[in-house]
Amino acid sequence: MADSGRIEGIGYKKEKRGRIFTLSEAFVGLQTGVATDVRGLPGKRQVTVLSLEDFDEACQSLGVELPWTTRRANLLVSGLRFAETKGNHLKIGDVLLEITGETDPCFRMDEQQEGLQEALRPHWRGGVTCRVLSEGQIAVGDEIIMIKTTG
């Protein structure tokens, strides 16, 4: 069984705590993550993915509008929710990502907006961390498919 959505945004950081650069397309590599993101080295947190709907809910609960880059994720997607999806796969063209867990909201979220850390906690609203299983080019507007490998 699979659900699908769409890539709405692509971002990467050149340095830890650095600014998020947004792109309309990017290469996602086994050794680099998204466009050589500083955290894109092989491992469980190689790529972070945020649900537009979940982020919007978190912002609505605070009564604010924030750009998605406030969450500092690599990919913004619409049409998918990520609560309890560890082990599932995300497919974007040739790119295959394995969801390795929840992106835990940290204190840095409250530096951006008071209360954001707590608003992102329910239902994995802060998104998911992923490992790159196969590489390729992605672009805003591409379909993203969640392949359920669990339950």
Total number of domains constituting the chain: 1
Q: Which two tokens stand for residue 37?
A: 């993101």
Q: How confident is the model at residue 1, as a pLDDT? A: 47
Question: Could you read off the pLDDT of 22-65 as tens digits, one per residue?
Answer: 999 999 999 999 998 999 999 999 999 999 999 999 999 999 99
Question: Could you read off the pLDDT of 68-104 as tens digits, one per residue?
Answer: 999 999 999 999 999 999 999 999 999 999 999 999 8
CATH number of the domain encompassing residue 71: 2.40.33.20
Closest CA to 71 of 14, 110, 24, 122: 110
One-letter identity of residue 126: G
Question: Could you read off the pLDDT of 106-129 as tens digits, one per residue?
Answer: 878 888 899 999 999 999 999 999
Alpha-carbon gap, residue 138 to 60, rounded angstroms: 29
Alpha-carbon gap, residue 10 to 37, rounded angstroms: 11
Domain region containing 118: 2-147
Query: What pTM was computed for the model?
Result: 0.94
